[in-house]
Amino acid sequence: MSTTLEIATDGARERGILLEQQIAADPSPFRILSGERPTGPLHVGHYFGTVANRVRLQQAGVELIMVVADYQVITDRDVAGDVAGAAHGLVLDYLAAGIDPHATTIFTQSAVPALNQLLLPFLSLVTVAELDRNPTVKAEVAASGRSLSGLMLTYPVHQAADILFCHANLVPVGRDQLPHLELTRTIARRFNQRYSSASPYFPEPDALLSEAPLVLGTDGRKMSKSFGNAIELRMTADETATRLRGARTDSERRITYEPERRPEVANLLRLASLAGAGEPGEIAEQVGDGGAGRLKALVTDAVNDHLAPIRARRASLAGEPALVADVLRAGNERANELAERTLAEVRRLMGMAY
């Protein structure tokens, strides 16, 4: 029997095919909201999983709005750390990967007060029970080992504000983020029913489900800077080679692509494939009896070749000291215009425009 998430995933996948066709025919009706928490440098998991897809959509003519979700850094930690430095590095990674600040709005969450003020009316539209059973929040709490904070509990509502403040109608997500987006759709629908039934004010955003395979870290766990298992976009070629030499494989000499039986080997083959070396099975045949050493050398060459132009652009952009500040200044100005307009209309619809 299919689970609720599996049914939602199948539906999102089918809807995504239609959405891609509509984007190809005319991208102008679509506005996408996406982004990350500034908790550390972007790595190849981020790049192949989300960032490259955003660049593709930007080039297709879709309007992108990208949030540097700095307030959300403290959802699962006691202190924020060097958020400013992490945000600066994140924007550099975006620009180096191909995000064009002239075509895409990049802003910081904390710099847009009207966006965050939407949290109050949105919270009135959901129950504690609905928040408490969100599977993504449960998983994040379990991973952090911390007790559930009020901010973590309301994390999906913050995300709804991020999406709806700019009337985004399309959100690229992975399978595990579908429950978050469904809550955003619920909030939009309930607001419209309660305050704007004659003419719905908020769109119910669609998911654009990412089909990129999960890239694991070099130790077989989720790729994360905190685990020391990530290939960061900003790493040098030598640092990448060192990290990949230590990647976990298994004791079998012959390389085969068997994701269920040999997950670590399959992960390296997928990474090489994403970097342009061919299909995973073909790469496995090419390596053959060369063993883990030959496989790691091939993966290293493929990843370094693929990332070389991105790293070169990043080094060049880092030499412009005012660049990131200028990008965020322009993005924050644009985001504030949108958020203030939305908040004013929300207050009017709620009968609170004094």
- At residue 1, does pLDDT exceed 60? no
Torsion of CA 87, 89, 93, 95, to 10 degrees: 70
Fold of the domain spanning 225-318: Tyrosyl-Transfer RNA Synthetase (1.10.240)
Average pLDDT of 200-210? 92
Average pLDDT of 264-288? 95
**Side by side, which strands form the sheet with 31-36?**
104-108, 63-68, 31-36, 170-173, 206-209
- At residue 223, does pLDDT exceed 80? yes
**Residue 134, pLDDT score:** 83
Confidence of residue 192 (pLDDT cuts 50, 70, 90): very high
Q: Domain spans of the chain?
A: 4-212+321-349, 225-318
Q: How many CB atoms lie within 10 A of CB 225?
A: 15
How many angstroms from the chain centroid is the CA of residue 186? 21
Percent of the chain scoring above 90 in pLDDT: 76
Average pLDDT of 168-174? 91
- At residue 225, does pLDDT exceed 90? no
Give SS3 for 67.
strand
Q: How many CB atoms lie within 10 A of CB 317?
A: 16
Tokens 């790595």, located at residue:
43
Q: How many CB atoms lie within 10 A of CB 24?
A: 10
Q: CA dist 192 to 10, 88, 184, 311, 349, Å? A: 27, 37, 12, 45, 10
CATH of domain 4-212+321-349: 3.40.50.620
What is the DSSP pairing of strand 63-68 with strand 206-209? unpaired
- Residue 66, classified by CB atoms within 10 Å of its CB into exposed (0-12), middle (13-18) or buried (19+), is buried
What contacts 204, CB < 8 A, 6 or more positions away?
185, 188, 189
Interval 96-127: pLDDT, tens: 999 999 999 999 999 999 999 999 999 999 99
Of 151-155, 207-211, 223-227, 332-336, which one has max mean pLDDT?
Answer: 332-336
**Rounded CA separation 86/130 (Å):** 32
The structure tokens listed for 11 are 């539906």
| Pair 119, 154: CB distance under 8 Å | yes
Nearest CA among 201, 170, 165, 206 for reference residue 63: 170
| Pair 330, 323: CB distance under 8 Å | no
Of 1-15, 173-187, 192-206, which one has max mean pLDDT?
Answer: 192-206
| Pair 236, 265: CB distance under 8 Å | no
From 72-76, 305-309, 343-347, the region with the lowest mean pLDDT: 72-76
From 90-104, 105-119, 206-220, 244-258, the region with the lowest mean pLDDT: 206-220
| Pair 177, 184: CB distance under 8 Å | no
Average pLDDT of 259-271? 95
- At residue 2, does pLDDT exceed 70? no
**Residue 242, pLDDT score:** 96
Confidence of residue 5 (pLDDT cuts 50, 70, 90): low
Nearest CA among 174, 205, 216, 180 for reference residue 13: 174
**Residue 247, pLDDT score:** 95
**Residue 294, pLDDT score:** 96
| Pair 111, 68: CB distance under 8 Å | no
The structure tokens listed for 258 are 């068997």
Interval 41-85: pLDDT, tens: 999 999 998 999 999 999 999 999 999 999 999 887 777 789 999
Interval 139-170: pLDDT, tens: 777 776 778 888 888 999 999 999 999 999 99
- Residue 345, classified by CB atoms within 10 Å of its CB into exposed (0-12), middle (13-18) or buried (19+), is middle
